[in-house]
Amino acid sequence: MSNPVSFGQVISPLGVNLGFPGTISRVGERVVAAREFVQQSVSGTFNLNFGDPAVTIPNATGGYWDSVADFVNAAVSNIGLVASQFAGAAVREVQTQLTYPAGQTPGILQVGYYAPNSMAEVLERGSMTVLLTVGAPNAEAQVYTRVVQNLTNVPGTTIGDWETNPAATDLFTLTGVTGVAAGQTALTLTATNVYVGQVVSGPGIVPGTYVVSGTGTAGSYSAIVLSQAITTALTSTSPLTFSNLVALPNVVTRTGYVDANNMVEITIKNRNAA
């Protein structure tokens, strides 16, 4: 008699899976809002995957959702708006399966999604599971989303990822800026790992400022142009921080546990969208 075929997976009692992307925690409060998901970019197809970070696009009728990945792909200028328009994370829903993928493999995670122009639900406050691409967090660790790829130093990442514990090439501080007066957008500096789209912060830098363009080779620019003028003069000792990630307001990891599928539970402490 042949051995029976097993369709399950062994789960260690000390390594329990947290669940699927977009699953809301049954512990604590849950504030969920429904709006239409509208794709902004004209290139490529971007769904709002269950568990994806979402932003609110305001309009006269209450606004609609977009995924961070699509929002950033639509225009570089949207990078400066990700933090201020961050809404929450897409909720996992049970939907009718109209087609079935062939050759499904046991143990392979398949993520559902909201298609463009469909109604979608987003968790605005509360806890849920999401796919963590980078990081080994502790409880209450700051959660980020990626707005600039860094495949050379951090392979396997994409725009719209959930991440913690940024790598030194993803979040770093530079000095050596040539003296620049207030009101300027052009900076001269010796810049390693600086790319278009990176979020910039520091003395005299307006929140939401990002790198618009650079002189020379990407990653080693000799000069850059910012999206917004500086408000105070910069000197060679002025520390400027460049980031491929956006720190999401009021979003932290609930615990430091990451399961075998790289799922982690995050908590959105306060609503960022009305």
Mean pLDDT, residues 223-241 taken together: 94
- Using the CB atoms, write b or e for 2-36: b if 16+ within 10 Å: eeeeeeeeeeeeeeeebbbbbbbbeeeeeeebebb
Contact (CB, 8 A) for 163 and 131 = no
Q: Where are the domains of the chain?
A: 31-166+247-268
Write the DSSP symbol of residue 69: H
The Cα–Cα gap between 154 and 150 comes to 5
Q: Give the list of residues 6+ apart from residue 221 with CB closer than 8 angstroms, or none.
A: 189, 191, 194, 214, 215
Confidence of residue 82 (pLDDT cuts 50, 70, 90): very high
Average pLDDT along the chain = 88
101: pLDDT strictly greater than 80: no
User: Of 7-21, 107-121, 208-222, which range is least confident?
Assistant: 7-21
2: pLDDT strictly greater than 90: no
**In this predicted model, what pLDDT tens digit does every residue of 168-219 receive, in sequence order?**
999 999 988 888 899 999 999 877 899 999 999 999 999 999 999 999 988 8
* This prediction's pTM: 0.87
Nearest to 29 by CA among 195, 242, 267, 274: 267
- Helix, strand, coil distribution of the chain in percent, nearest 5: 5, 35, 60
